[in-house]
Amino acid sequence: MTGQQSDQQSSQRELWFELMQFYISESWLLDDRKFDEWLDLFTDDVFYFMPRRLNVGRQDISQELSPVGDLAIFEDDKTYLSMRVARLDTGMAWAEDPPSRTRHIIGNLVVEQLPDGDIRSKTAFILYRSHHETDENLFSGSREDHLRKEDGRWKIYKRVIVLDSNVILAKNLSVFF
């Protein structure tokens, strides 16, 4: 292995570690209900997208996820995410009174450096939600993020969330992924 290859591997490991810390911090912000701080992890032009997952045959697997503009579960920008966060403090978000207790577990981070210096990452997640005495939900899936540095900090400008299940059995979907 040449010195240059060793430096590249070291740089990749450092980037992986930096982003893993970023995602761990994000999980704690969500679980501690620090939603305004969580919003600050996103750029002003963010696209936050959760397509519907469809049951299709193997020959149609490329059509398993609904495209943008086709009744997605979430298709939000920063303004809409901010409105969802602000609504939690209005007393009008009955589904979140009392607030849900959540635990976000993030892993399987894969990082790819893009030619323009941005990053594409993919993570697996498990989101546990407990509400009232009897409501429990478990969501699992993956997230693909595109990140760029703004003012020396990583910020997400695109998040695509894909749930493993295609039917959501929760009474509401008022949590963030």
pLDDT in tens, the chain (177 residues): 676 777 778 789 999 999 999 999 999 999 999 999 999 999 999 999 999 988 888 988 888 888 898 989 999 999 999 999 999 988 788 888 889 999 999 999 999 999 999 999 999 999 999 998 889 999 999 999 999 999 999 999 999 999 999 889 898 889 999
Within 8 A by CB and 6+ apart from 98, the residues are 131, 132
Within 8 A by CB and 6+ apart from 105, the residues are 27, 125, 126, 127, 128
C-alpha torsion sign, points 137, 140, 141, 143: positive
Within 8 A by CB and 6+ apart from 60, the residues are none
First-to-last alpha carbon distance for the chain, in angstroms, is: 40
